[in-house]
Structure formats: C-alpha cells, structure tokens
C-alpha cells in the first residue's frame, strides 16, 4: 500500500554517517521495496542525529516514539478507513437483517395468536370460534358414528365426481341446449335479427334451464335429502312432509323436462328431414342428455349427498384443516426466520468480525516493513526486530487496542466495533425473547389425525 511518509524537522546541517544499504543494494537483496526504502530514508537522519547529539550508546539508537507515530500514521488511517467501510458494508446490513427478522417473527407470532379463526358453514350459517368448531366436529362425528353403528347410512356423502357433475350440470345443460338449437334447429344465436322468434325461444329456454329448472331440481333434492335424514332420526311426520314436497317438485320438473325434450326431438327431426339415421340418433341422444340426464344427475348429486350433520361436519373439518395448514406454515416461517437470524449472528461473531479485524491488523502491520528496515539501516541495535501481531482479539464487549506494536504508534479506534458488539448483544437478547414467545404460543387445537374416516 502506497503511503505518504510524514517527515520530521531537520535541525542539523552537519553530515552524518550514511545508512547501511543503498536503495539498489536493499531492493536487489530483497530487504525492502523502493517505497519502503523511501519511507525509511525520511526518518533515518533525524533518528541518527538525535541519538548522536544526545550521546546515546550506539546499540540504543532505536527510532524515537515520535518516529514510530509519524511513520505508522498513514497505515493507521488506512486501517481506520478500512474498518469503517467493512463495518458499513458487511456488519451493518447483517445486523439490520437480524432486526427485521425479529420484527417478522413478532408479526408472525401475533398472527398465530389469531388462530384458529372463527368458522361457519352454509348448513347452519352459525359462526363458531376455533375451539368451539373443534368441539362441534367431535360432537357431529360421534353422532355420525353412533348412527352408523345402528345401521343408518344416510350420513354417507355422494361420490366427489357426482357432486362435481351436479354443480356444473345446469351450465352443461344450457350449453347443450344452445348447441342443439344452433346446429339442429338453425337458431341464429349470434345473429338474432335473422330470426327473432327462434332467438327469443332459445333465450327463454336457456334462462329457464339456468334458473327455473335448477331451482326446481335443487328443492326436490333438498326435500329428498331431508326426508332421508328425518326418517333415520325417527321423525316420520317431517319425513312424510318432505316426501310430499319432493314429489311435487319432481312432477313439475319432470313434466317440463319431458315436454321440452320431446319438443326438441320433434323439431329436430323435422329440421333434419331425410338425414342419415346416425345424425338423427346423435340429435336424439343430445336432446335426451341435455333435457333429462343432466337434471337427473343434478338431483342425485344433492339428494344423496349425506345429511345436514355430515355436511356440516365435513365443511368444518375442511376449514379446520385449512386453518391448521396456515398455522403450521406460520410456525415454519417463524422458525426459519429465527434460524436465519441465528446464523447471521454466529457468522458475525465467528467469521465476519474476526476477518475484518484481521484485515485491519494486516493493514496496520504494513508499517512494520519500513520501520524494521529503518532499524536495519541504523544498524548495531541490541533489541529484536518488531514482528507483526499474530492474533486478533475476537471476543465481543470491551476490546483491547489494535496496533502494530511499534513504539509510539497510535492504535486503531475500535469504538465502532464496540458499538456493533453492543448492538449485536442487544439483538441476541431480542432473539432469545422472540424465541421464547414463539415457544409459548398455544398449540393449534385441531389435529389432522383427529379427523375420522372420510364420509365420502
């Protein structure tokens, strides 16, 4: 590292004995670099003249402390600048990251305290607190298992594929009618001005399928489902009432569906004329599928879909499973953040801070090369040559001075390091507090294993 040597005042004019080596001799012998020779030469005459005039014995002509301070000053400044830069670029971001991670964990802990959240089901529209929902699931499960033990199967849910079809059936039926009207009856769906009568008929038909027939099928299915449940519970009067409602809705639905299907087939056959038999068969199958099969599947998907008890139980179970998954994800996130924070803290203590101090020590110790060469130029000294520091104090808290041990040389100011040590110690305490808070969070009351066998 190139440094600007700080010369001392020259108070004498008479010549003194020259140094031991010329620059060429010293550089060729590997005793110093050209820059180190120049720095040593800056102080050589001052040291020799001072000791000679003071009558100091030749073996004690050591460089004075002022020389050590002046010679080391540029290196100490470079070390101080390096320390400030490395602390700013390597330590401060890590400490800020630990602080942010602690903030994130505290926010996560607050979120965990809000679990389990309030839950409700469309069956009852009643809102349950998280713990009440768990108790409710256990209560409903006991009831389902008791009924099953008595031979009742009305709690069993419909297959998932049937329930899915029942939900999309109205849309599929509407699309089927549109396809039938477009390709077999030549209704201009996208060009209503060409046939206002046909287009209006198609619109009314599709709207009825989407709204009217769906409403009728839904009420018929609900009545059938309620009748099954009431019959199993021994409520014969309610079961009979529900069966009458079911019959009424089904009669209206079936009459309209059969009428529409028959009319579509008749109109389709007229429109096809002398078309091939295969085309007519496809047309009839499409009409029957859209007019009869889809409403039937929609009815079965809801009519046979368990009981009010089992549906409420399964809905609460699904919601509790989801809430538990969110809870577990929050716990994992908090533990991950804490692990990252602890790793950053360990890296600061075990790697980054020691590496910074070691590099600063190396910069400061660069002053030893010109200083030792200065002693070599003086020659005849009795004490040993100064050697670089072999270790750097890495413990946090109060730190010893960091210097090159040249007499008179100033030490690097480690107050910035001590400030970071104190902040790191405070963060370590905060990490411990946050970790304790996380361990004290109440466990989620819902256990996935608490769910009994599926009712589907």
Overall domain count for the chain: 2
Last residue of a domain, one of 286, 305, 324: 305
Any domain includes 250: yes
Give per-residue pLDDT as tens, 112-152: 988 888 888 777 778 888 888 888 888 888 878 887 777 77
The Cα angle at residue 294 between residues 226 and 264, in degrees rounded to 5: 130
Any domain includes 386: no
Any domain includes 333: no
Same domain, 164 and 300: yes
Cβ atoms within 10 A of the Cβ of 99, count? 15
Any domain includes 178: yes
Tokens of 117: 């959240």
The Cα–Cα gap between 403 and 388 comes to 9
Any domain includes 406: no
The Cα–Cα gap between 206 and 367 comes to 94
Last residue of a domain, one of 305, 324, 353: 305
Any domain includes 89: no
Give per-residue pLDDT as tens, 215-235: 877 777 777 777 777 776 677
The DSSP bridge partners found for residue 412 are 402
pLDDT score at 315: 83
Residue 355: Cβ-neighbour burial (10 angstroms; 0-12, 13-18, 19+) = middle
Any domain includes 167: yes
Residue 36: domain span: 1-57
- Residue 175 scores a pLDDT above 50: yes
356-369 mean pLDDT: 92
Give per-residue pLDDT as tens, 11-54: 444 445 677 888 888 788 888 888 888 888 888 888 888 888 88
Residue 116: Cβ-neighbour burial (10 angstroms; 0-12, 13-18, 19+) = buried
pLDDT winner (highest mean) among 105-109, 245-249, 378-382: 105-109
3-state secondary structure of 124: coil
Same domain, 162 and 301: yes
The Cα–Cα gap between 189 and 182 comes to 7
3-state secondary structure of 320: helix
Distance from chain centroid for Cα 163? 35
Largest CA distance in the chain: 138
Any domain includes 330: no
The Cα–Cα gap between 82 and 213 comes to 81
Same domain, 49 and 185: no
Sign of CA dihedral 361, 367, 372, 375: negative
pTM for this prediction: 0.70
Distance from chain centroid for Cα 243? 53
Same domain, 163 and 292: yes
């Amino acid at each position: 590292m190139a440094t600007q040597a700080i010369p001392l005042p020259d108070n004498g004019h008479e010549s003194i004995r020259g140094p031991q080596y010329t620059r060429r001799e010293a550089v060729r012998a590997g005793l110093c670099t050209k820059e180190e020779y120049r720095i040593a030469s800056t102080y050589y005459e001052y040291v020799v003249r001072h000791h000679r005039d003071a009558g100091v014995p030749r073996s004690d002509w050591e460089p004075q402390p002022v020389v050590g301070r002046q010679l080391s000053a540029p290196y100490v400044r470079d070390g101080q600048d390096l320390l400030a830069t490395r602390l700013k670029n390597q330590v401060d971001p890590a400490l800020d990251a630990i602080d942010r991670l602690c903030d994130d964990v505290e926010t996560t802990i607050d979120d965990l305290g809000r679990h389990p959240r309030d839950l409700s089901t469309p069956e009852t529209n009643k809102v349950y607190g998280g713990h009440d929902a768990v108790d409710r699931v256990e209560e409903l499960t006991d009831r389902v298992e008791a009924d099953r033990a008595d031979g009742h199967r009305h709690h069993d849910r419909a297959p998932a594929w049937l329930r899915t079809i029942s939900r999309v059936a109205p849309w599929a039926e509407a699309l089927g009618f549109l396809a039938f009207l477009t390709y077999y009856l030549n209704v201009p769906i996208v060009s209503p001005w060409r046939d206002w009568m046909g287009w209006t008929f198609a619109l009314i038909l599709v709207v009825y399928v989407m709204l009217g027939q769906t409403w009728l099928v839904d009420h018929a299915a609900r009545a059938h489902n309620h009748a099954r449940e009431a019959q199993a519970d021994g409520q014969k009067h309610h079961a009979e009432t529900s069966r009458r409602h079911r019959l009424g809705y089904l009669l209206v639905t079936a009459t309209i569906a059969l009428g529409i299907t028959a009319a579509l087939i008749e109109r389709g056959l007229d429109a096809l004329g002398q078309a091939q038999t295969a085309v007519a068969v496809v047309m009839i199958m499409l009409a029957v599928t859209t007019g009869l099969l889809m409403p039937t599947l929609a009815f079965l998907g809801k009519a046979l879909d368990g009981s009010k008890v089992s549906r409420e139980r399964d809905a609460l179970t699904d919601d509790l499973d989801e809430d538990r998954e969110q809870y577990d994800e929050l716990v994992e996130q908090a533990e991950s953040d804490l692990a990252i924070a602890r790793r950053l803290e360990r890296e600061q203590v075990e790697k980054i801070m020691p590496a910074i101090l070691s590099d600063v020590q190396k910069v400061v110790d660069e002053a030893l090369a010109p200083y030792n060469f200065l002693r070599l130029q003086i020659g005849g000294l009795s004490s040993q040559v100064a050697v670089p520091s072999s270790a750097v104090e890495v413990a946090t808290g109060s730190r010893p001075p960091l210097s090159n041990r040249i007499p008179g040389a100033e030490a690097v100011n480690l107050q910035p390091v001590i400030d970071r040590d104190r902040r790191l110690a405070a963060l370590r305490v905060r990490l411990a507090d946050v970790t304790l808070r996380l361990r004290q969070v109440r466990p989620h009351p819902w256990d996935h294993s608490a769910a009994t066998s599926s009712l589907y």
